[in-house]
Structure 1
Amino acid sequence: MTEPLISLEQLLQKFSDNRSWDKQYRLIIQLGKKLPVLDESEKTEANQVKGCESIAWCVVEQHAAVFHFKMDSDTRVVKGLMMILLIIFQDKTGQQIKDVDIDSLFEKLGLLSHLSPSRANGLLAIVERIKAAESNHGNH
C-alpha cells in the first residue's frame, strides 16, 4: 500500500520553508523517493512522455469520474517533479484538473525559475498529458 500523498498546502509550505534552491532541490529528490514504482509492463512507448530530456512515463487511468496517474522516470529530479504533479492532480475529477492554475502553482513553488529549459519543458509536457487526459476522457 502506498503512503498517502501530502496535501498541496503541505507541499507549498515545505517549499516556502525551504526558500534556497539547494534546499528545494533536496526536497524534490526526497519527494522523488516517495514516487510509487511503475510496473515494468507499463513502461511502454505509448505511455512515454515526449518532450522530456530524460525518459519519463505517465499512465492515465479513470475510475468513475476520477483520474488516477502513475508515473516514473529514469532520473531522481524528474521523479520528484512527478511526485509534485501527483500531489496536485491525483484522484481529481476532470473539472478539478481543468480548474488547476498550474502556472500559478509553479510560480508559488518557484520551480520553473530554477529548472533548465529542457527540464521545464519536460515538466510542462507531463502537465499537457494530464490536462489532455481530462479532455480525452471527460467526454465519456
Structure 2
Amino acid sequence: MTAIDDLLADFEILDDWEDRYRHVIELGRDLPALPDTDHAPGNKVKGCASQVWITSAVDDASGEPVLTFQGDSDALIVKGLIAIAFMIYSGKTAQQILSTDAGEVLGRLGLSGHLTQQRSNGFASMIQRIKSDAQTALHAEPPRFESP
C-alpha cells in the first residue's frame, strides 16, 4: 500500500470537509523540519501566496534518478499540501514523477473542490517545481570519470 493509498483510506473515514482540513494540517505538522539554510531564495517556490520552500535530492545509484524532497511553508494548511505532494512524488523516479497527475490525486481525495483558487494555484506551482526538478534530473549528464 502506498502513502497515497493510506491517505485515501484516511479521507474515506473522514466524512466532512472540516475533519479533512484538520487532517491536512496534521500532515503539515508531521513534515520534517527544513534546515534554516534551505529557507533560501533559490528554494522558494514562485506563484504561492504563502512562503514555500522546496529542496530536492537526486539518487542515481539505481541507474535512474530517484528524487526525494523536503519543504516548508509559513502556513499550516500549505505545509499539509506540501506533505501531500511529497506523498505523491518523493522517493519516485524522475519518469514516474513526470507521468503522475497530482490533480487527479487531489480529486480522488476530494480536496480540489475545497481549496481556494489561491491555494490551488500555489499547489500547482509546487507540482510544477517538483516536475521541473525531475526534468532536470532526467536530463542531467552522468558524472564523467577521467582516465589517469
Larger Rg: 2
1:3 equivalent in structure 2: none
Q: Are residue 28 (structure 1) and residue 21 (structure 2) matched?
A: no
Deviation string, structure 1 residues 95-132 (Cα, Å, up to 9, x no partner): 11112122211110111211111111001100000111
User: What CA distance in whole angstroms lies between the structure 1 residues aligned with 2:85 and 2:15?
Assistant: 20
Identity of aligned residues (%): 35
In structure 1, what is the equivalent of residue 78 of structure 2?
Answer: 78
| 1:51 to 2:47 alignment | yes
TM-score, normalised by the number of residues in structure 2: 0.87
SS in 2 for 1:46: helix
SS for the counterpart of 1:138 is helix
Query: In the alignment, what sits opposite 2:92?
Result: 92
- Superposed CA deviations along residues 18-53 of structure 1, whole A, max 9, x for unmatched, are 131101001001101110100000001110011111
Tell me which moved more, 15-24 or 39-48.
15-24
C-alpha distance in structure 2 between counterparts of 1:69 and 1:38, whole Å: 10
CA distance in 2: counterparts of 1:12 and 1:22, whole angstroms: 16
The structure 1 segments of at least 4 consecutive aligned residues displaced by more than 4 Å after TM superposition are none
TM-score in terms of structure 1 length: 0.92
Aligned residues: 135
Q: Secondary structure at the match of 1:36?
A: coil
| 2: CA distance, partners of 1:103 / 1:79 | 17
Does the 8 Å contact 2:44/2:52 carry over to 1? Answer: yes
Separation (CA, whole Å) in 2 of partners of 1:19 and 1:47: 36
CA contact (8 A) 2:103 2:112 kept: no
Root-mean-square deviation (CA), in Å?
Answer: 1.1
C-alpha displacement at 1:137, in angstroms?
1.5
Offset, 1:71:
0.5
Secondary structure at the counterpart of residue 60 of structure 1: strand
